[in-house]
Structure 1
């Protein structure tokens, strides 16, 4: 692994877009992107694996261009796992050779990095990174940061705590699969219900759901039982409000949401990843990878096309890079 200044190239391979549009059409492979400049509080990571997220293709469509980093050239990607090859002068937690992972953008939509995780090297602030859990490979680790932080902080926002019940909408997805596990194994839920399609109900049981709900056959909002918290990971906050107790809370990760559902976006946080590390290393909380993962770096466009079908189970990951 490259770990000296002289062995880090001046230009790198990356997937980039130079105009807004459908990501499958605008994303291009570029093998001559300048290596990101390292700030004092950053580390330079040689990326080994990266996960894809819906925010990547929504950003490419220009949905957030008023607060996005400016074009002409953007390499998308939030989640990364890799090896530290250079450290800024103010960095205290990491040194060259450390295996790390994280969501590279502290604030999801406010001027995200121009060179994200779909590049050979990326320069990342120390505070959003954590040591890779010792029992996880790079592919598994890359699948986690954005989803697990979203899961945990969303539960915090809903004031979820031990002894409460929860309904998870989209329990087989990247975020939902981790909400179930955190609610059960970290926060001590009394009962967990979750929705998925017929083929994914067994996965919900394996994750810890007490009541798997087939959304193709049942309307959860018509159940007589109501829940302390409904975690909406699919954009159904209006229906979710009919399934929550009178004093309960609905949190949705697809803003704007229907009031009084609470719209929520994560803040990337390396300290939270460290806090959750014992649960990952003990196997109580497991990353869930889509069976098609990983996609090779050369098939990144194909991977985005698959992610956009909304049929993925768990996370879609790119590996190796490049």
Structure 2
């Protein structure tokens, strides 16, 4: 491996505000120091998420890490150094993960939109052999959110599900995981007209064009509604008696269950067979990947809420 530089290139913001305005390229950021339970990753690709721009706005500043910060949760890259307590990885391993175990509580000051990031062993997994770094980077936060959200809703074989926002990063994985891992009896999903073909390709039984019909007016009700867009009040009208609504967009209308993931490398390892056999596929937005130099443009695009699947930054120098 090449020697690790003392300084690196990263995207940094030093004040809270709209991420397109406060995020600046910095060619001279100190490379993170390694703790005993961490590995240092040479970042190859990183996905961006709504939590990045909400954090930049200062929504969580009471529990945020001190500024300046390099955003980015999802990472795929190569291990270049390991702490003394690390057992699962060695230098040269290709890994991926959501680098912050608890999403909003003091996330890392140096995230994945940097050449290097230092990450705890327990939130990382070996990159599935059939996936590119771009595909792998698109998965961790979204696939863990999808899986743990279904667990939270006590979803199980034979149950029906309605996915609100089925074409997004999380929703597209909820459809696949509900079908291939949990054994859903029926899957419905909402999206705009152009997303219906994707739903059919993912195995959705009932694609719903939200520009033409209101899902809550359907006669059919579902065992679980997975709300990935922030419509929990409407979602409650579509759930069977005794069913559950889980939402990943605050605020949640009771009794809808608000849900936030806990990053977990072991879960990524558990899902690896489904990724390697192609039952669960990463869904990348057609504009992905954006080059590192166009990270600000990538955030502008993500904020339109028009992305299909995930927006990924690659290559990272």
Using the size of structure 1 for normalisation, the TM-score is 0.98
Secondary structure of 1:65's partner? coil
C-alpha displacement of 1:70: 1.0
1:158 and 2:153 equivalent? yes
Deviation at 1:154, TM superposition (A): 0.2
Q: How well do the aligned residues superpose, as a CA RMSD in angstroms?
A: 0.5
What does residue 264 of structure 1 align with?
259
Aligned to 1:304, the other structure's residue is in SS state: helix
Cα distance in 2 for residues equivalent to 1:150 and 1:306: 22
The corresponding residue for 2:81 is: 86
Match of 1:278 among 268, 273, 276: 273
| Structure 1 gap segments, 5+ residues each | none
Question: What does 1:115-126 align with in structure 2 at a 5 Å threshold?
Answer: 115-126=110-121
Question: How many angstroms apart in 2 are the aligned matches of 1:225 and 1:113?
Answer: 44
Q: Establish whether residue 38 from structure 1 lines up as the match of residue 34 from structure 2.
A: yes
Q: How far apart, in 2, do the equivalents of 1:81 and 1:108 lie? A: 18
Q: TM-score normalized by structure 2?
A: 1.00
- Give the Å deviation of 1:11: 0.3
Instruction: Describe how 1:1-322 pairs up with structure 2 within 5 A.
Output: 1-2=1-2, 7-71=3-67, 73-322=68-317
Deviations 1:6-51 (A, max 9, x none): x100001000000000000000000110000100000000000000
Deviation at 1:256?
A: 2.4
Describe the superposition over 1:207-243 as per-residue Cα deviations: whole angstroms up to 9, x where unpaired. 1110000000000101111000000000000000000
Aligned pairs, how many?
317
Provide the rounded CA distance (Å) in 1 between the counterparts of 2:109 and 2:53. 14
* Distance in 1 between residues matched to 2:36 and 2:304, nearest whole Å: 40
Measured in 2, the distance between the counterparts of 1:123 and 1:279 equals 28
Distance 1:157 1:68 in 2: 26
Is this contact kept in 1: 2:230–2:251, CA < 8 A?
no
**TM-aligned CA deviation for residue 255 of structure 1:** 2.0
Distance 1:235 1:224 in 2: 22
Taking the aligned partners of 1:205 and 1:243, their CA distance within structure 2 comes to: 21
